Amino acid sequence: MRKIIASEFVSLDGVFEAPDQWHFPYFDEEMGQEIMAAMGQTDAMLMGRVNYEEWAEFWPNQDPEENPASGFMNGVRKFVVSTTLEEPLGWDNSTLIKENVAEEIAGLKRQTGGDIAISGSASLVRSLLKDGLIDELRLMVHPVVVGSGKRLFEGGGDQIALELADSRTFSTGVVYLTYRPVSGRDNDDQKEVQEMEAGNARERMTLVLGGRGKIGRRVSERLEERGLPVRVGSRSGEPPFDWENPDTWAPALHGVGSVYVSYFPDLAIPGAVEAVRSFAELAVGTGVRRLVLLSGRGEEEAQRAEQALREVGDEAGVEWTIVRCAWFNQNFDENYLLEPILGGEVALPSGDVPEPFVDADDIADVAVAALTEDGHAGELYELTGPRLLTMEEAVGEISKATGRKIRFVPVSLEEYESVLAEADVPPEFLSFLTYLFGTVLDGRNASLTDGVRRALGREPRDFADYARDAAATGVWGSVREGKR
Ligand SMILES: NC(=O)c1ccc[n+]([C@@H]2O[C@H](COP(=O)([O-])OP(=O)(O)OC[C@H]3O[C@@H](n4cnc5c(N)ncnc54)[C@H](OP(=O)(O)O)[C@@H]3O)[C@@H](O)[C@H]2O)c1
């Protein structure tokens, strides 16, 4: 990650404006060397509109012989934050950032390159400090009281704790102070800051990816019932979110403190790990403090996606929870098994291998607990139902609950594949289903876990209860009298 370094000349009374009126008596070789050394590590500059307008007027008219810094200032890549300027910008190598400033700047930090420098541009410095995007604040405090002029920090801002990383005194009496965001303070202080951050994050919005899907819908509903601000992540959301279009990610993350991360269609799909990693990096860069990932049991790719999210979270000091699930009960009424159930015949290559089906309501309860409560950070919750059932037994439960005759027909993987192909199932979904039944359903998941109890302090829901309630909604056709 590139660093953003804000460097400012300030007077004893905190003024940063018009340094040409008070700074030059203190400029000497010692200070010049420090400034040149910092420039050597910089390959981009960030500035606000006022600074841009002043400098775009000044630097192109300087003679490089007389003012050697002009070569650097004119040649360096410049990013200008302004809502009023318009492209194209006249000063060489200048790019305008007009909207989504924090996201855009977090994106710049993720690019490879040298440091990104800011000087002057006090309001930009203040807002980036608040968003946690500044890595170092370097102040050259001049021993002069200027009396009037704009202050680097004006009244009315938030309290932001920094730690002193270095201090030096020049022979002119200028004190050179280097501050960094709090990181290495003692544990109590750090804990307090983290709790504050977690509190702030809770006040911010929760983005629920797949927010209209099986689990995401339930997560969104639960958060809304608690009166918490929610943004439904959906391709038709406002703004939209699409895993296949990374340009939609930053707008969806704007103002978001926590994210429920659900990948579509499945974390086992090629490209999922990279997408989850990139998304998590963007999320932590834009101020997200809590990530909860929905994952799948027994899938190598899903476990790699978990690892990617954990690494990003740990590096950024952000809380994460993994919710790793067995197969969902709701595959039978909200997913690909609904149609065969309605048709009265379920033909699957599942053999006698049992699966500990888990209920979407239990999963959503765990995800919501992890999103809203303390004590779930760093946990991997492996969720199963309370009972192992073969596919045939599960279909039998549904048959019993509906009073309808639903046949289970064991087929080979090849037969299943050709039936799917004939039914024009898209190739990527077909290969995913054959992976599920041919690889994941080999007995590796045929065991129960205590994940629901560990996360919620209660037992998971049984498949028979799910089947009874789903049947009562009429989703599988009419329920025989007396079965409700
Ligand atoms: N099914 C299981 O038994 C099982 C078991 C363990 C783990 N999992 C995991 O569960 C996850 C899926 O969760 P789910 O079942 O709750 O979701 P889901 O019901 O399959 O669907 C989620 C939503 O994803 C959205 N979507 C479709 N294409 C998208 C795209 N390109 N970008 C963003 N969103 C897109 C759709 O909503 P919009 O049209 O509104 O965009 C859809 O409603 C997968 O990652 C899988 O690995 C599933």
Our mutation pick for probing the ligand 1 site, out of 244, 264, 324, 391, counting the most ligand atoms within 8 A of Cβ, is 264
For residue 230, how far is its CA from the centre of ligand 1 (angstroms)?
Answer: 18
User: Looking at ligand 1, which atom is closest to the CA of residue 244?
Assistant: 31
> In the structure, which protein residues have their CB atom closer than 6 angstroms to any atom of ligand 1?
210, 212-216, 234-236, 241-244, 262-267, 294, 296, 302, 325, 327-328, 331
Strand partners, 355: 389
Mind listing the domains of the chain with CATH numbers? 4-181 (3.40.430.10), 198-472 (3.40.50.720)
Question: From residue 90, how far is each of 47, 74, 82, 94, 379 by CA, in Å?
Answer: 15, 11, 14, 8, 52
Q: CA-CA distance, 454 to 448, in Å (whole number)?
A: 13
**Helix, strand or coil, per DSSP, at residue 165:** strand
User: 474 CA to middle of ligand 1, Å?
Assistant: 23
Q: For residue 188, give Cα distances in angstroms to 160, 318, 424.
A: 17, 17, 60
Q: Which helix (H) or strand (E) holds 128?
A: helix 122-130
At 394, list the tokens: 């599960």
**Spacing, Cα 420 to ligand 1 middle (Å):** 20
Question: Which residue type sits at 193?
Answer: V
Q: Closest ligand 1 atom, CA of 265?
A: 44
pTM over 0.85: no
| 270 CA from centroid of ligand 1 (Å) | 15
pLDDT in tens, the chain (484 residues): 789 999 999 999 999 999 999 999 999 999 988 888 888 888 899 999 999 999 999 999 999 888 878 888 999 999 999 999 998 999 999 999 998 888 899 888 887 778 899 999 998 999 899 888 999 999 999 999 999 999 999 876 778 889 999 999 999 999 999 999 885 444 455 555 555 555 555 567 999 999 999 999 999 999 999 999 999 999 999 899 999 999 999 999 988 999 999 999 999 988 999 999 999 999 998 889 999 999 999 999 999 999 999 999 998 889 999 999 999 999 999 999 999 999 999 999 999 999 999 999 999 999 999 999 999 999 999 999 999 999 999 999 999 999 999 999 999 999 999 999 998 888 888 888 999 999 999 999 999 999 999 999 999 999 999 999 999 999 998 654 434 3
Of the candidates 201, 281, 212, 284, the one whose C-alpha atom is nearest the C-alpha of residue 241 is 212
From ligand 1's centre to the CA of 335, what distance in Å?
Answer: 10
The DSSP string of 242-261 is -TT-GGGHHHHHTTEEEEEE
